[in-house]
Amino acid sequence: LQNCRNDGAEDEEQKAEDDSVELFDMIEIEDSRVYEISARAGQPSPYLLLQECLKQNAAFGDTEIKLHSSRVKHQRHQFDMEVGKHRVSVICTNKREGKQKTSQAMLKKLHPNLNTWGSLLRLYGHETQQKQQEARKSRHSIIKLQGNVSKDSPAVEPNTAILEKLKAEMLKLAKRRQNEGEPVPKRPKLSYTHEPVFEPEASTASASYAESHPDAASSSRIDL
């Protein structure tokens, strides 16, 4: 009964988070209202979202943010931002506005195929960061279970604690995808005839599947 209540609370919390993000599906990435609406909705500012984006892609290039400003007219300034090989410029009235708007322009430049702020929040927002933290905790707990294996046990003996943990995590993932309306993917058999598959046929089939089913990390990777 307690588990049911916990699941219900988690579902309600998930729905509230989804509703708050859906609001931004109607707002373009470079919309001037993004900063203000984000503050009211409790979502990260454009600059913080850019920092999280670069943090997740730190292994793929130069992620240092370089921001410069110059006065062009009375109470008007040009703000230039550079990240890796990318550069954007905006005209604003003050430093805070310039910092946020150049961040929006840079995020758009790094994600040319995305159009709305909601799509960026799903990649780098609070909910995604929380899921990543939970994933790290799950991996850590599995590693701890591996460390608890008795040295006297045979190598071929299954570790039931690890198996139960993996089963629980897979069920949790399947439930989350079901709640989000996503089909649970299943890897097709490499050989539909059930006959043994040898090299190079196995490599070719595996490469073809990997190309048509990119993982989340590679599909969101940016060009730095």
Residue 95 lies in a domain: yes
What's the rounded mean pLDDT across residues 217-221? Answer: 59
Could you identify the residue written with the tokens 């988070």?
A: 17
Number of folded domains in the chain?
1
Q: Answer whether residue 60 is part of any domain.
A: yes
pLDDT tens figures, 64-111? 999 999 999 888 999 999 999 999 999 999 999 999 999 999 999 999
Q: What is the pLDDT of residue 126?
A: 81
pLDDT higher than 80, residue 35: yes
How many CA atoms are closer than 13 Å to the CA of 91, on its beta-carbon side? Answer: 6
Specify the pTM: 0.61
Decide if 52 is inside a domain.
yes
Distances (CA, A) of 206 to 194, 200, 209: 16, 10, 5
**pLDDT confidence bin for 211, thresholds 50/70/90:** low
Strand order across the beta sheet in which 65-73 lies: 65-73, 76-83, 86-92
In a domain, 136, yes or no: no
For residue 224, being part of any structural domain is answered with no
- Model pLDDT, residue 154: 54
Mean pLDDT of 15-23: 72
Does 120 map to a domain? yes
pLDDT in tens, 159-199: 777 778 888 888 888 888 888 777 766 655 555 555 555 65
- Asked whether residue 1 is assigned to any structural domain, the reply reads no
As a whole-number percent, the residues of the chain with pLDDT over 90 amount to 42
Q: In terms of pLDDT, which residue wins out, 120 or 176? A: 120
Q: Give domain status of residue 137, yes or no.
A: no
> The domain that contains 21 carries what CATH number?
3.30.160.20
Domain that holds residue 115: 15-131
By CB atoms closer than 10 A (0-12, 13-18, 19+), residue 222 is buried
Token pair listed for 38: 């984000």
Q: Which of 180 and 12 is assigned the larger pLDDT?
A: 180
